[in-house]
Amino acid sequence: MATGQLFSRTTQALFYNYKPLPIQRMLDFDFLCGRETPSVAGIINPGAEGFQKLFFGQEEIAIPVHSTIEAACAAHPTVDVFINFASFRSAAASSMAALKQPTIRVVAIIAEGVPELDTKQLIAYARANNKVVIGPATVGGIQAGAFKIGDTAGTLDNIIQCKLYRPGSVGFVSKSGGMSNEMYNTIARVTDGIYEGIAIGGDVFPGSTLSDHVLRFNNIPQVKMMVVLGELGGRDEYSLVEALKQGKVTKPVVAWVSGTCARLFKSEVQFGHAGAKSGGELESAQAKNQALQDAGAVVPTSYEALEAAIKETFENLVEGGKITPVKEVVPPQIPEDLSTAIKSGKVRAPTHIISTISDDRGEEPRYAGVPMSSIIEQGYGVGDVISLLWFKRSLPRYCTQFIEICIMLCADHGPCVSGAHNTIVTARAGKDLVSSLVSGLLTIGPRFGGAIDDAARYFKDAYDRGLTPYEYVEGMKKKGIRVPGIGHRIKSRDNRDKRVELLQKFAHTHFPSVKYMEYAVQVENYTLSKANNLVLNVDGAIGSLFLDLLAGSGMFTKQEIDEIVEIGYLNGLFVLARSIGLIGHTFDQKRLKQPLYRHPWEDVLYTK
């Protein structure tokens, strides 16, 4: 492996398996370091394509998303780092696919628990093809002031405290990602900071070893000393011992192997990492520390003394003129996310939408404040849900029952009415359900199903003003307005609409008052004196009875009733109800596999 540094200020990576937080942390680090280009060139999210919006400083950028590793590498031929956030189940396969791409040079595998056989195959392929694997079970690595992998070094506050926004003089390598964060802080306190830090991962078979990176650091001119943090278990540290003995490492190495406390236990102890388990005296922390010290590394007497040993080594190099401490720079201020700033009370921001009918925050959705579980447990029906979402209150049972009756009675009126006809024609044209439904709904208006609001509006105005049926009807005639809710193409005095009769019967039985309906009937009596088909139709019946429901329930003010009629609540009932029938007609035509509809010539009057 050896060679030199892995990363630079122009290094870019492909990020596998989209994770917004670590990607944003990488981009924030880029901005902190003054990079001109984002370190994440593309995202690979299997089965998805497009773009993901993220922040690069104050600027919002769109990072391309690719569905395959091959497509991403082809689209970004200069990218040579692959950061793999796949689960342990798929990490090996995706990492191997990345290693086989000629443009990829470094693969970082974050997942723990990758099968050891798969890891060995990855290591063998990487070594045979002069590529580098960091991990598995790693947090990644960082080159100070240049590039970092994923969540390496933690939060921005920690990065600034550890002076990672600019390069120092120390090369650091560890098995542990968590301890890396601690050591970055320690090194920053007593030196000019790190130049590069790597966490090789805690699995039994790491993709690259401690000695691999120490030998590489030895070839980087900017690295003047190395700090190594090993742990009990395995024999990785002994390859570093051999390199030191053979004189391959010419720069000072300060090392410590954690786990000396293992001897205090009577039986073998498994520490946090899969590889942190002593398999004999040679794998103990004490034996490794002694071997490193004998080979020439600076090894303190305890972990607590490690900081002092690093400090002393650094100061000796400064005094000897081998290190000129890096001048401190002030990093730029990273813009704070709005959500974070709001939570901390630093800013306030207006909302963009107001909602009063439902709330999907918390453990379960609420309709007008009523938890979903209560709706189910108390046996609420469709009418009750409408009363909550439309009227923002729980109406009496007779009211919600009336709403349900209206929906049932208006659900369909055969295939010949304009709405159903349009839906049928559209469905037979091969269109989807939504298109077929909408084509039928768009016919609802003043001439088809949309007269409920107008009927209620005009009946209410006439009744409230004390107009007689004669004054109301004749007044509408003078204005050139047809009386909404009166008249039918088929029904007549001798062939009444059964739906109207059912609604009136229910209201007489359950409503406290039916004054508006009775007024509508008086108007019907007058219009029938003019023509036999000027009967009260279902629009007029629903419109007048809904006025009685609103007024008689005692739950609405006059202003609320006027607003409900004005907004179009009552037509909403027809739209909701008729959607049931239009969906049924769509399914019926598709089930019957009906062909494209063409209107017959004989039903068209061709004229000049």
Q: Is 459 exposed, middle or buried (0-12, 13-18, 19+ CB in 10 A)?
A: buried
Six token digits for residue 514:
């039916």
Cβ atoms within 10 A of the Cβ of 362, count?
8
Q: Could you tell me which residue, 346 or 50, shows the higher pLDDT?
A: 50
pLDDT confidence band for 277 (50 / 70 / 90): low
- Of all residues in the chain, the percent with pLDDT exceeding 90 is 85
d(CA 547, CA 570): 10
226 touches 217 (CB < 8 A): yes
Query: 3-class SS at 323?
Result: coil
User: CA of 458: how far to CAs of 484, 560, 565, in Å?
Assistant: 8, 17, 10
Q: Is 106 exposed, middle or buried (0-12, 13-18, 19+ CB in 10 A)?
A: buried
Please give the model's pTM, rounded to 2 decimal places.
0.72
pLDDT confidence band for 12 (50 / 70 / 90): very high
Q: 133: which strand partners?
A: 107
d(CA 24, CA 608): 69
Region 460-478 average pLDDT: 96
Counting other chains too, the contacts that 510-514 makes at CB distance below 8 Å and 24 or more residues apart are 510/398, 510/401, 510/402, 511/398, 511/545, 511/548, 511/549, 511/552, 512/552, 512/553, 513/548, 513/551, 513/552, 514/545, 514/548, 514/552
Q: Is 513 exposed, middle or buried (0-12, 13-18, 19+ CB in 10 A)?
A: middle
Q: Which of 66, 273, 488, 585 is catalytic?
A: 273
Locus of tokens 């739209």: 575
Q: 426: which strand partners?
A: none
Q: Could you tell me which residue, 234 or 118, shows the higher pLDDT?
A: 118
Mean of pLDDT over the chain: 93
What is the secondary structure of 87-104 as a DSSP string?
-TTTHHHHHHHHHTSTT-
Nearest to 428 by CA among 300, 185, 211, 593: 593
Decide if pLDDT at 226 tops 90: yes
Radius of gyration from C-alpha coordinates of the chain: 39
Instruction: Tell me whether residue 273 is one of the annotated catalytic residues.
Output: yes
Decide if pLDDT at 596 tops 70: yes
| CB-based contacts of 524, cutoff 8 Å, min separation 6 | 486, 534, 535, 536, 540
**How many helices (H) and strands (E) would you count in the chain?**
23, 16
Model confidence pLDDT, tens digit, residues 178-219 = 899 999 999 999 999 999 999 999 888 999 999 999 999 999
23 touches 123 (CB < 8 A): no
Decide if pLDDT at 406 tops 80: yes
Model confidence pLDDT, tens digit, residues 296-329 = 999 999 999 999 999 999 999 999 999 998 888 8
Model confidence pLDDT, tens digit, residues 543-585 = 999 999 999 999 999 999 999 999 989 889 999 999 999 999 9
d(CA 278, CA 282): 8
